[in-house]
């Protein structure tokens, strides 16, 4: 029996030929063979030329996740081999094999495994599945993870909204082995962090900011720091140990702030770090109204745009947030600002920050551009995989 086929509209051919892993519903001219959800499909151009093979999902705007441009089966061994390759990159090239540390072992599109993320925290793994098709190969993926990594336990985490977007019904919980004692403590350079693998944001910690924590710490000496959207205090701990005069960690989550306080204890900086519950916009507005200023402000908000439809609103949000921060930033103060929205380009983000500076009449100079840690590799075929953008600026 022939394999079902997805025939692309002419406008959808160029991205597929360039091996972009997402084929959206609007790029498809017709589908033949009535594929089931998660089925393998051949992707063809208007002339019937084979472009690649992917997994089909009629429930998602990403109608096909493209995994190969070769005529090969998308089965358990295929995905197991891709997982092995991803793990080898971390151990053999990046040297991220500290048993007490943490890293991203598999980064979805960055490792040509769209819809799969795997993070290692010490002897435990956390799996995040965001694609219906690849989720069907879960057992083969878990088998190779156990074989290569030999973890004490593997947890499954889900992402808000994915069930609706993908038609993927999953529940957080233990997949294999023993669940970790909470919280687990990881080592990152000289830092120690307590991580909640069960209920923390993402898979528990912002591993993508590993190198940026060290870079940002270099600017902190002697400064009064506000770490806004601090989560469990990654930048708070980094700046405090980097010699900050004081650090205020602001987050809307009481649970995250409890861990931030715990992390301050683990790193011996409880006298420097104050954890305050508050909304980023509201808290910054209150500080500006009260005339309070800081020598350094770190902004690391959650994702503002899940799709291009939300781009305008996201850029307005970044402009407003950075504008409020600039109102609270002392002359010659350092602003460290991030966007983790893959739909927002680095250029668009910088423009939003620049507009905030212009409207606030604050001359702003960029000292550094920051990105995600190398265990979150960027695929040249998928610009959206370069999702983390950061700027280190000094304001006049």
Active-site positions? 340
Tally Cβ neighbours within 10 Å of residue 361. 8
Tokens of 225: 């720091």
d(CA 21, CA 43): 11
Omega before residue 387 within 30° of 0, cis: no
Task: Tell me whether strands 329-339 and 364-370 are parallel, antiparallel or unpaired.
Answer: unpaired
268's torsion region: left (phi>0), alpha (psi -120 to 50) or beta? left
- Is residue 57 within 8 Å of residue 38, measured between CB atoms? yes
């Amino acid at each position: 029996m022939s394999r079902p086929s997805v025939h692309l509209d002419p406008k959808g051919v160029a991205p597929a030929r360039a091996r972009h892993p997402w084929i959206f519903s609007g790029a498809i001219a017709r589908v033949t063979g009535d594929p089931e959800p998660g089925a393998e499909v051949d992707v063809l151009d208007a002339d019937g030329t084979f472009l690649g093979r992917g997994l089909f999902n009629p429930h998602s705007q990403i109608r096909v996740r493209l995994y190969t441009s070769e005529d090969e089966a998308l089965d358990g061994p295929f995905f197991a081999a891709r997982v092995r390759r991803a793990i080898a990159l971390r151990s053999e090239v990046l040297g991220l094999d500290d048993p007490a540390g943490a890293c991203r072992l598999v980064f979805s599109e960055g490792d040509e495994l769209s819809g799969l993320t795997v993070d290692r925290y010490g002897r435990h793994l956390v799996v995040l599945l965001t694609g219906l098709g690849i989720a069907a190969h879960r057992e083969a993926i878990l088998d190779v993870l156990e074989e290569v990594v030999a973890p004490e336990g593997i947890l499954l985490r889900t992402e808000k909204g994915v069930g609706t977007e993908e038609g993927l019904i999953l529940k957080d919980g233990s997949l294999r082995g023993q669940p970790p004692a909470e919280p687990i403590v990881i080592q990152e350079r000289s830092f120690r962090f307590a991580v909640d693998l069960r209920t923390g944001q993402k898979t528990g910690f912002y591993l993508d900011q590993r190198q940026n924590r060290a870079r940002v710490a270099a600017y902190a000496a002697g400064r009064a720091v506000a770490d806004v959207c601090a989560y469990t205090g990654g930048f708070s701990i980094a700046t405090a140990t980097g010699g900050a005069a004081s650090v205020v960690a602001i987050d809307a989550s009481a649970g995250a702030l409890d861990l931030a306080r715990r992390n301050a204890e683990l790193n011996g900086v409880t006298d420097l770090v104050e954890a305050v519950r508050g909304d980023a916009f509201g808290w910054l507005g209150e500080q500006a109204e009260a005339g309070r200023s800081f020598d350094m402000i770190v902004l690391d908000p959650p994702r503002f745009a899940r799709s291009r439809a939300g781009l305008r609103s996201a850029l307005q949000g970044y402009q407003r947030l950075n504008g409020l921060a600039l109102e609270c930033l002392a002359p010659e103060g350092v602003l460290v600002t991030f966007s983790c929205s893959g739909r927002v380009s680095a250029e668009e983000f910088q423009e939003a920050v620049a507009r905030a500076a212009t409207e606030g009449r604050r001359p702003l100079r960029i000292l550094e551009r920051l990105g995600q840690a190398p265990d979150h590799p960027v695929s040249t075929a998928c610009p959206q995989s370069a999702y983390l953008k950061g700027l280190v600026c000094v304001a006049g």
